[in-house]
């Protein structure tokens, strides 16, 4: 067996595999309001991230997304408390002083806060938080930037533009700081707008100069040299890709919204995928570019994707067979445990062991001797 098929061989997993895995988990989260599987999903994503993240700058993005998730929950609860009134439920927890508003607005600020209202708000927020955690995990394990390396050849120009934009943003921030300092050195603060105009000019000029420099550098390094420009094939490619994208969007919307109105779900998704892939293949043929050291797509990648998909598939299945365990009939009851979905979500924890470990950063020779 070649080493990259081994789950024990240290290497970086293909970022695409991590994103598919995370999408699977997020899809599972999108189908349920039951806190049990939702908390499980958050736990699983956290576990896998802590087991397999590297020491790259973006690896810490999980913490950021987790904080965002907590923030979402808090905001949701605060607003529910303030605005709910006694619209739902009977179990009154406490009563807030009510703000008198005209009846016609249909709004009520303050008033009685019920357990039911709070719980259902919590569950909805929890769903959003779980999805945030999934995205955070994908970002921490295979950054969006890494993923851009694998943009299909047909979309290469877009990929390059995204990468440049990602580099540009921090540089622009540095520029802004420099120019602002310079403005402070000169003093004379005449109004906010005046000040902004003063800052904008040097920054804009700087950014323009930099883009011209970059364009010159890319041109002299052969960018666009191998592209055969054939307007007909380019038009076919864009038509195919755009219709494909539309199909995928409709399909995903159909599946996630659960309306399942015949063609909107799976069929649209499949047709969209086929069209999109066809477009990418046709477009990919026209470039003569090659790719340096692509991450292999091997057994561990397949296993990781499969585990993510299992979570999604089993949750969807549960939805079909026993929807009451996923969408609670009454929020005050102790939430039931949807066995099938939970098993699926637990399967998604396997990448913590199935994904190959990351190679340790170069250690000093002393360590190697100790190991020997």
Partner 1 sequence: MIRFEHVSVTYSGASAPTLSDVELHVPEGEMVLVMGRTGSGKSTLLRAINGLVPHFSGGTLRGRVVVDGRDTATHRPRDLADVVGFVGQDPLAGFVTDNVEDELAYGMESLGISPSTMRKRVEETLDLLGLADLRGRPLAQLSGGQQQRVAIGAVLTTHPKVLVLDEPTSALDPLGAEDVLATLQRLVHDLGMTVVLAEHRLERVVQYVDRIVHVPGNGEPVEAGDPAAVLATTPIAPPVVQLGRAAGWSPLPLTVRNARRRSVELRARLADVRPPEHRATALGAPVGSVKDLVAGYPRRPVIKGVTISVAAGEIVALMGRNGAGKSTLLRTFVGLHKPTSGRVKVDEVGLVPQVPADLLYAATVADECSLADRDAGATKGATRALLDRLAPGIPDEQHPRDLSEGQKLSVALAIVLVSEPKLLLLDEPTRGLDYVAKQQLITILHQLADAGHGVVFATHDVELVAEVASRVVVLADGETVADGAAPDVVVSSPAFAPQVAKVMAPQPWLTVHDVAAALSSTNGALAGTTHE
Write out the residues near partner 1 by the rule CB under 8 A.
57, 145, 149, 160, 163-164, 166-167, 170-171, 178-179, 181-182, 184-188, 198-199, 201-202, 205, 210, 213-226, 288-293, 362
Residue 186 or 320 with smaller CB distance to partner 1: 186
DSSP per-residue string spanning 40-102: HHHHHHHHHHHHH--SSGGGGHHHHHHHHHHHHHHHHHHHHHHH-TTSS-S-EEEEEEEEP--
Minimum gap (Å) between residue 194 Cβ and partner 1: 10
Nearer CB in complex with partner 1: 55/369: 55
SS3 114: strand
- Cβ closer to partner 1: 60 or 321? 60
CA 210 – CA 216 distance, rounded (Å): 10
The residue (of 39 and 148) whose beta carbon lies closer to partner 1 is 148
Q: How far is the CB of 220 from partner 1 (least distance, A)?
A: 4
Cβ neighbours of residue 8 closer than 8 Å, sequence gap 6 or more: 356, 357
Q: Is 112 helix (H, G, I), strand (E, B) or coil?
A: strand
First CA to last CA distance, the chain: 26
Chain-centre distance for alpha carbon 74? 21
DSSP for residue 285: T
Q: How far is the CB of 21 from partner 1 (least distance, A)?
A: 24
Which CB atom, from 262 or from 288, has the smaller least distance to partner 1? 288
């Amino acid at each position: 067996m070649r080493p990259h098929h081994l789950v024990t061989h240290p290497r970086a997993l293909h970022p695409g595999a991590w994103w598919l895995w995370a999408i699977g988990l997020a899809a599972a989260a999108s189908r349920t309001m039951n806190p049990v599987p939702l908390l499980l999903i958050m736990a699983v994503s956290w576990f896998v991230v802590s087991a397999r993240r590297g020491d790259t700058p973006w690896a810490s993005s999980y913490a950021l997304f987790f904080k965002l998730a907590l923030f979402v929950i808090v905001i949701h609860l605060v607003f529910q408390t303030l605005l709910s009134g006694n619209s739902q439920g009977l179990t009154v927890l406490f009563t807030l002083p009510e703000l008198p508003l005209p009846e016609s607005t249909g709004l009520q600020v303050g008033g009685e806060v019920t357990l039911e209202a709070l719980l259902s708000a919590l569950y909805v927020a929890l769903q959003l938080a779980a999805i945030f955690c999934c995205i955070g995990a994908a970002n921490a394990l295979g950054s969006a930037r890494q993923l851009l390396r694998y943009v299909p050849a047909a979309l290469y120009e877009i990929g390059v533009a995204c990468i440049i934009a990602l580099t540009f943003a921090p540089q622009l921030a540095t520029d802004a700081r420099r120019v602002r300092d310079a403005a402070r050195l000169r003093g004379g603060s005449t109004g906010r707008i005046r000040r902004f105009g003063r800052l904008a000019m040097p920054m804009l000029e700087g950014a323009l100069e930099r883009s011209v420099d970059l364009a010159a550098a890319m041109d002299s390094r052969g960018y666009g040299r191998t592209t055969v420009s054939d307007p007909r094939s380019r038009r076919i490619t864009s038509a195919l890709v755009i219709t494909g994208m539309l199909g995928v969007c409709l399909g995903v919307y159909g599946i996630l919204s659960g309306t399942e109105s015949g063609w909107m779900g799976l069929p649209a998704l499949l047709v969209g995928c086929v069209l999109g892939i066809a477009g990418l293949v046709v477009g990919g043929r026209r470039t003569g570019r090659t790719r340096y050291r692509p991450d292999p797509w091997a057994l561990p990648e397949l296993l990781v994707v499969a585990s993510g998909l299992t979570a999604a598939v089993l949750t969807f299945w549960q939805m079909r067979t026993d929807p009451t365990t996923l969408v609670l009939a009454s929020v005050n009851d102790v939430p039931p445990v949807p066995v099938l979905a939970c098993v699926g979500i637990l399967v998604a924890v396997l990448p913590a062991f199935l994904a190959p470990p990351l190679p340790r950063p170069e250690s000093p020779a002393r360590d190697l001797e100790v190991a020997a």
